Amino acid sequence: MSDRLVLSLTSPILTYDEYARLQGQKVKDVVNAVASGRLPTYTPPCAPHENPARVKKYINMVALYAEAAKAANLDFQI
């Protein structure tokens, strides 16, 4: 028999503000964590005339759960 852990994400991506609220952190701490590479982000595709650096980024919750599963030696499947 196989043991399974089923996770349900309310959203695969979160704004910095929403992630900070859910984690009880300040937005500036989330921004710093992203800048230092501690939090994975998702950047939506942009139009050719847009500057990619100015496109709003989101916290990638799927990648974050995958990192946590790997750190816990769990097999993570989507």
pTM of the model: 0.83
Residues 20 and 26 sit within 8 Å (Cβ to Cβ): yes
- Say if 77 falls within a structural domain: no
- Distances in Å between the Cα of 40 and the Cα atoms of 4, 49, 52, 62, 69 are 25, 25, 17, 9, 14
**How do residues 8-58 score in pLDDT, each as one tens digit?**
888 999 999 999 999 999 999 999 999 999 999 999 998 889 888 888 999
- Say if 5 falls within a structural domain: no
Look up the domain containing 47 and give its range: 10-71
Chain Cα centroid distance, residue 55: 16
Domain count, the chain: 1
d(CA 8, CA 27): 24
Token pair 């050719």: residue = 48
